[in-house]
Structure 1
């Protein structure tokens, strides 16, 4: 229109209309598009403009909506195929792949590779389309592998589209050329960050040669506006990140500018300072604490910094891993920590510096919790040697702490001395963590010998210190230990409360070892209470987490508790696998307390499953280990099992001796939880000895004890106990049985224990069977089994051959046999072929 501009004509046409105007791809003409949009909006009251651009137009009234990347699978390695297909990025890949290869389909074989491709390409549509086009020549796995050089691979777009959309390189080149010089410089320098950064980090790392620290915010804002930098406002600070594709492009530009070394040096210096500043605060930090959150968020950068330090500055590498020791320990990052220690120590050489000693002591302590026991002992010894040579009490204290802890686990002498010296050195060095950790380990030493009263005093002191320091991991161990005692004493409500506190405190820092023990013991409580299914679920979840995190010290207890629940469910093959794994885990660790417990539970499984020889082996080893350790509770475990095995072999007197020994150990310490089982077994023994009144009363006392404690029989064995009750009821009659049973239920625990001890002394010898034999008759049987004649037996026992013959006739009558050879064979089967002295020594 003559004399009028294009803008005037458009305004005239649209002035009275309600219309939508679309301006597409404005980024290369931002100024002109902004002027056009502003003029149209001023002249047309009912006009709406939709503009697409890689940067805002910057006109009044503009509302910016960022087009997000396409949706991705939640987990690139774990999603099922049906869920993967629901992802926008995967759906686009499948659609474009089918265009070049019609028979393409996502399958179990290629699903993980397709998901990885979409993740690696950040859900960028152009990149995914270009990658999918390669399925005509390459399998998805090959494409995923080739993305390490994605700009070479992702080419070949349609010839009919704009050149900048034909290759990934051209697309990003287009955006890069639209940047100002300062923005280009900052973009390439930001590629040094892995996983994102804060404004402070960018201002510290990126200035120099053309960029002042005060310019960073404005330049960064420009990169965000142009969609080359993404923001994340979820945490306490806004974080920024580059899509991996953009980062790879920018890193290439950084290399071209010959700035890589300088930028990585700055990056290392910044993150080393961050880690060292955080190290002093980790002790009192919880999961939501800014320190732990910061370190967890910065892990990609810390890993990148360590990689550069290992390559260029070994001393900085040692400083960095030393600063991260407590973070790795408290949050259960054992595998990552050990790999970092190994790389930094290998690079630093063998010079025995104080710094090397600190790093070795940290590696040793992590090694104990992760299960690398032999290596941990070597590292701790090496750290102690260096600490002494350098006069460093800090390193010595921590090394002795680890050595003392391992000595406790192994039941070795001198553990307390090591830990007490550790406390002295830690106090001298001002190492609060080491003081508290050594105190907790000392409490463990008392617990392993059933000295809970002494342990509680130590725990209370450690609790006070941990509370003052905010040391949540220490609080978790305190509550776990209190729950442990409560279980033994049968106070299950208290145990649940203490263990729940331990789980909560360990969850606050993400500590998988303490969590594994606390949840494992919680499963034990739940199983004892009779909720088998929930106990199984809890034990299974606990084992899964222990395996996922590499929490090796908790591996045995996690396998045992799952095995226990499987015994209760009757799943014996699965239980045997888990319990055998638990035993082997402790053989590696040398954790003898848990080894004895695992063996006793495995032996119980073998007994219930009818494998009595295997059960005997487990029980005898469990008893030997418990005796070496000095734990009465563990000895009682093994003795109850040996009592059940003796009863199964027809040796009621032997069974009674074992179970009375176990009962005595439990009663003297007040360990109420397992007393009902002892009373039950003694009832079964009494029934075999025809002391039916005693049997019924003990069954009643055991039932009442279980009711008071809120527990059930373990293992259930309903057929066995029904048989004991039926035999006893038949002998007494219904009224007699019910009266005796009721009398037993009226007994308190201490009264029941006193009763069974009296009954044992008052009980008449049965009229037949092995338990009917007198001590003299038993000795004669032993000599018969040894192949002696009546004359030889008389000479050994200082009695006449005729007296031997008379005793032997009584034995034949009581046992229902008349054959000397059969008697000898039965004696051997009942393990009566040894002399009394030898037999007693073996027991």
Structure 2
């Protein structure tokens, strides 16, 4: 059977060979290359143009290299169809489309003759914009042309359908136009007319409302005059038809006002206040409220004060106007203090007066009758019982009535649907602090949009710029996205800049005053807003709220029981009291997996914190909080190295803000013992999470506070852990001298105190320092001594860790068999200890050996398992290490695009961690990749960045890699004197450290240099020495280096007599290691 190929480009790209979808082997560029060839079918395309178009930011040589990789991958996927990619000339490519089903070609053909049948087929083919998801510049013109052709066809088809009584078909066509271009008002008007033609006036009005909402939110604009005129005409007709039904059956008791005009009828039917400002960022919430009101007769909007419950309910009434033919009314209850006057207040809002011999409630019920109507009761929290009784009475009597209430707590009726109004969306605080987002990205958040719009209303000269928007985003985040608080803050732009407003937020209750004078008094200042809620609490609820203010970043119920209980609150009472605070929208319950967490909005927390200070119990409560989380941290510490480590790492993540508060309080109280215990318990957590700077900061402050402590002898274990931790963090930050001082101080202290576990840990950490600085012999001595010390105290965990360090040294120095024995034993022991995290650390090293020895399948399996585990426990350093291994595996196999992706992610992590030693190594890997694809400029840039980093942190092995790389670049550029200097310094580093594989690579580089200098016999001797060393190590040349190596060797062989070549080769293979190094350094002249 003949093979088939189908290519679909209208919508997301899809190519199928014999029905099987092609998946890119390396990157989406393979799809884009095929797409570009297909779009330009029938033409001869220059290779340079293709490469430059697809990789515009790369050097031409690099772009061509990438394209060659993509072509190879693409041909492999196309199978029998690979021959369709043709090379008419050496420098051009073309694509043969004969016999292929290609959607855009059929689309173009169907539209070409202008027939309606062809247009039907064409719009059926259009699954979406051309190459949806492709952001390349070259696709834009082609995409726009097809999209416009599609819209034109839909317009023609809709016009024809309307002219031939096909209103429903026209609706379908026009909806498709609007789905593509929501700003095309003509299509909206045509859709409104089509709905009218089908008899659906309500839908026609809704089209206008949706358009107006969209224009407001996206452009702060209104529909044009023609659209507004059509809307008014259609709406008046819709109201006229509806009122004709209403007036045919008037209420039996209450007389209707004169309703000769639609305006009069609207006035009679509804009493909804007109908002002065447009609603920002609530599209999803509007839809949610509408759906809930449609499906339930009593809906309560809850939420903290100022979150926008009232404004959302007003908008909901406007949105649902057409849904309630009997009218909609809004009843403001905030000013009502006497629950006995509730019915009178509602009746007044509906303009109902009491009749003789009939209660006002009866009159009200008769008025509503069976009418399909909406009643909004706003601000019910201080009248909950009265509102509940009233709602129950009217809902039982008026079958068509729906009630929407706003309250800080639910009414508690059967059938009530409660929905908590969320705050506006704010940017994540962590990347605001890191300045990671552009101004346009920040403006996508509704809270920031609200601030900017209200600021412009207060000060028309207010201009949006990067500084303003960044500060506004921080203001909105710190105000928890509460609309009222944001509006109060924005009102200050007439006097203060936005950064100044941000600076003053610590005193937010004084800053955020002076709201709209027409608002309720409690909505004019932030403090009054929370006073309103606080005053409704009983004494126990107030005290619990105060005590909860000491939490940072939320809490669990267990923590609330411990810290919330007091002489006046039993721990068993906490559940009910906290439930009340949640019901009153003061405590937020967070929905997520696992144990339920709770939190206070920051504004509420600061208010409660002030009240706690006023009570005089702040210090006592903070101490209880500190003690609880110290116990929690110490309980978690051993579990971070066992079977439950993933779960406990996540629990510490959740409580990290509380743990910080606990340490801070210990330091503020000069409690050195408690702060040492915190640092000792959290050391492994900080290290695994890559929090080097933070960990060192806490350790330094703690060591300073505890230095003169009388309890020092009782805290030897914790002080030893803290010193060693500070040393490790310093090393990661590249401060080697400080790291040595910490570890040596720890070793001295522990030996004097005969604390053997601390001695062993200090020795192991000193070994790591020596290893990083390239003194592998000293490192080995430290590791061996640590291994013995751990064995002496019976610490299986410690001795296994030290054994793993020794195995890693064996790997680095090329003793792979010894390394395998140690590392396999480590992996087995750590698995038995249920510490998968450290087990896969050993596994990664074993994978590295498999990579060196050419067993790529085993290497890949080990690297991928390691990466999975490290990602699972969010060990960022471990993730970066695994990415480096996988990148090198891809590099070895010639999968350069894959290698680049791994290396880039690795570098990004190292930069985030500020881990300068391993960043230097990661940059070297990117440099080696750039060398492999002949991108010498990029390679030099990577090595130039790596070299000073490696010097600063004393990482001699990384320095050797950078020097070798710079020498290779200089060799390609013909700068032989520089080449020799770089290579000699690198080889000296490797020789001193005994890193035999790197020595072999250096000898190969010297061989290439000798060929470049036409010193062929020397070159062959050096290459032979490298070959012999690789044979001894069992480390074959990686495939990606094979071609270059063979070219170098062939060039030398062609220039020599065969007998001389064989003699030089044999001589090189037989050279002892030291002799080969001396030969390389002494036989390559420097002049």
TM-score after normalising by structure 2: 0.62
Deviates more, 1:185-194 or 1:427-436: 427-436
Preserved CA contact (<8 Å) 2:734 2:954:
no
Measured in 2, the distance between the counterparts of 1:128 and 1:380 equals: 50
| 3-state SS in 1 of match to 2:374 | strand
Pairing 1:439–2:796 present: no
Pairing 1:510–2:877 present: no
Measured in 2, the distance between the counterparts of 1:839 and 1:241 equals: 71
- Structure 1 376/458 Cα, relative in aligned 2: closer, same or farther at 3 Å? same
1:301 pairs, out of 650, 658, 676, with: 658
- Structure 1 552/408 Cα, relative in aligned 2: closer, same or farther at 3 Å? same
Pairing 1:268–2:626 present: yes
1:525 maps to 889
Pairing 1:117–2:484 present: no
Preserved CA contact (<8 Å) 2:828 2:839:
no
1:159 maps to 517
Measured in 1, the distance between the counterparts of 2:602 and 2:1079 equals: 79
1:466 pairs, out of 830, 836, 847, with: 830
Aligned pairs for 1:284-683 (under 5 A) are 284=642, 289-312=646-669, 313-350=671-708, 353=713, 354=716, 355-409=718-772, 410-674=774-1038, 676=1042, 678-683=1045-1050
State the shift of 1:181 in Å: 1.4
State the shift of 1:96 in Å: 0.8
Preserved CA contact (<8 Å) 1:371 1:553:
yes
- Deviations along 1:594-633, one digit per CA (max 9) or x if unpaired, are 4333322221122112222222111111111221122221
Measured in 1, the distance between the counterparts of 2:555 and 2:528 equals: 27
Pairing 1:168–2:526 present: yes
2:397 maps to 43
State the shift of 1:89 in Å: 1.1
Preserved CA contact (<8 Å) 1:483 1:494:
yes
- Structure 1 838/600 Cα, relative in aligned 2: closer, same or farther at 3 Å? closer
Measured in 1, the distance between the counterparts of 2:836 and 2:918 equals: 18
- Structure 1 840/572 Cα, relative in aligned 2: closer, same or farther at 3 Å? closer
2:497 pairs, out of 139, 158, 179, with: 139
- Deviations along 1:257-296, one digit per CA (max 9) or x if unpaired, are 1121011100100000000000110012577x32111100
Measured in 2, the distance between the counterparts of 1:838 and 1:301 equals: 59
Preserved CA contact (<8 Å) 2:967 2:979:
yes
State the shift of 1:545 in Å: 0.8
- Structure 1 548/395 Cα, relative in aligned 2: closer, same or farther at 3 Å? same
State the shift of 1:9 in Å: 3.1
- Structure 1 73/361 Cα, relative in aligned 2: closer, same or farther at 3 Å? closer
Measured in 2, the distance between the counterparts of 1:206 and 1:836 equals: 76
| 3-state SS in 2 of match to 1:231 | strand
2:376 maps to 22
| 3-state SS in 2 of match to 1:20 | strand
Deviates more, 1:316-325 or 1:572-581: 572-581
Measured in 1, the distance between the counterparts of 2:495 and 2:503 equals: 14
| 3-state SS in 2 of match to 1:65 | strand
- Deviations along 1:326-384, one digit per CA (max 9) or x if unpaired, are 11122222222111111111111156641312221222234334433222221111111
1:203 maps to 561
- Deviations along 1:174-224, one digit per CA (max 9) or x if unpaired, are 111111111111111111000000111011012114211111111111111
- Structure 1 208/284 Cα, relative in aligned 2: closer, same or farther at 3 Å? same
- Structure 1 573/433 Cα, relative in aligned 2: closer, same or farther at 3 Å? farther
| 3-state SS in 2 of match to 1:98 | helix
State the shift of 1:567 in Å: 2.6
Preserved CA contact (<8 Å) 1:7 1:36:
no
- Structure 1 375/40 Cα, relative in aligned 2: closer, same or farther at 3 Å? same
State the shift of 1:37 in Å: 1.5
- Deviations along 1:388-433, one digit per CA (max 9) or x if unpaired, are 1111111111111111222333224343332233223334445444
Measured in 2, the distance between the counterparts of 1:590 and 1:488 equals: 26
Aligned pairs for 1:745-764 (under 5 A) are 757=1062, 760=1065
Measured in 1, the distance between the counterparts of 2:359 and 2:409 equals: 27
Aligned pairs for 1:802-841 (under 5 A) are 839=1082
- Deviations along 1:464-520, one digit per CA (max 9) or x if unpaired, are 111112223322322221222122222233322222222222222222333323322
1:57 pairs, out of 411, 421, 426, with: 411
1:684 pairs, out of 1051, 1074, 1087, with: 1051
2:134 maps to none
State the shift of 1:78 in Å: 3.1
Measured in 2, the distance between the counterparts of 1:838 and 1:622 equals: 11
State the shift of 1:243 in Å: 0.7
Measured in 2, the distance between the counterparts of 1:346 and 1:837 equals: 52
1:730 maps to none
- Deviations along 1:57-115, one digit per CA (max 9) or x if unpaired, are 12222211111111223554433333333322122112211111123242223221111
Measured in 1, the distance between the counterparts of 2:454 and 2:957 equals: 61
Preserved CA contact (<8 Å) 1:71 1:123:
yes
Measured in 2, the distance between the counterparts of 1:431 and 1:555 equals: 33
- Structure 1 645/837 Cα, relative in aligned 2: closer, same or farther at 3 Å? closer
Preserved CA contact (<8 Å) 1:659 1:678:
no
Deviates more, 1:411-420 or 1:636-645: 411-420
Preserved CA contact (<8 Å) 2:1024 2:1065:
no
1:225 pairs, out of 554, 570, 583, with: 583
Unpaired runs of 5+ in structure 2? 1-354, 1069-1077
1:740 maps to none
- Structure 1 564/258 Cα, relative in aligned 2: closer, same or farther at 3 Å? same
Measured in 1, the distance between the counterparts of 2:853 and 2:631 equals: 50
State the shift of 1:527 in Å: 2.4
- Structure 1 155/12 Cα, relative in aligned 2: closer, same or farther at 3 Å? same
- Deviations along 1:616-661, one digit per CA (max 9) or x if unpaired, are 1111111112211222211111111112112222222222222221
1:240 pairs, out of 593, 598, 602, with: 598
Unpaired runs of 5+ in structure 1? 695-755, 764-834
Measured in 1, the distance between the counterparts of 2:755 and 2:698 equals: 23
Measured in 2, the distance between the counterparts of 1:466 and 1:659 equals: 42
- Structure 1 248/836 Cα, relative in aligned 2: closer, same or farther at 3 Å? closer
1:708 maps to none
Preserved CA contact (<8 Å) 2:1022 2:1080:
no
